[in-house]
Structure 1
Amino acid sequence: MHRHGMVFEELAIEVMAELPTDEARREVLELIELVGADPWAWPDVRDPGSVEEIREAFGARCWFQYTPHNGAIEVREIGWAD
């Protein structure tokens, strides 16, 4: 799945489809858009020695992991807390 400046991994697409409400999907997408505006403002959580940059962002009830790529972000995983 592609949105402007965003690429979603298969697992992230599955989680988005399983979110409980439209409001939940909206909250996740708003956080993703916020991160897309400044992807390096969020913490790098990659394992020591890993060359692939992985960052995490947290909202009120959601979080996601992503990798910044030349002005875009690749959404790797999404989580939701009820």
Structure 2
Amino acid sequence: MQCGVVMEELAVEVLARREVMALVEVARMEPQAWPDVGDPGSVEEIREAFGRRCWVQYMPHPAGAIEVRETGWVG
């Protein structure tokens, strides 16, 4: 039975990673579409994007790149 539990945890981790990576791609394609959550007066533009069960905090860079600062998973 323990093997089943480990496999279930691995499956959840794989699904979480896929959903986070999909959200990162959405944020990268249109980084300005998500709210800026940086502190007032900050020189960094920090944004957050939200999926159904995950979120990503990132900083947009020129040429379509984003720097992922943090990710989270609900569940």
Residue 60 of structure 2 is aligned to residue 68 of structure 1? yes
Q: Which amino acid aligns with 2:20?
A: V
Structure with the higher fraction of residues in helix conformation: 2
Match of 2:28 among 31, 36, 52: 36
TM-score by length of 1: 0.74
Structure 2: unaligned runs, 5 residues or longer: 1-11
Asked if residue 49 in structure 1 is aligned to residue 36 in structure 2, the reply is: no
- Which residue is 2:73 aligned to? 80
- Deviation, 1:74, is 0.2
In the superposition, the TM-score normalised over structure 2's length comes to 0.80
> Percent same amino acid among aligned pairs?
67
| CA root-mean-square deviation | 1.7
Name the structure where strand makes up a greater proportion of residues: 1
In 1, Cα distance between equivalents of 2:57 and 2:46: 7
- Greater relative contact order: 1 or 2 (C-alpha under 8 angstroms, separation 6 or more)? 1
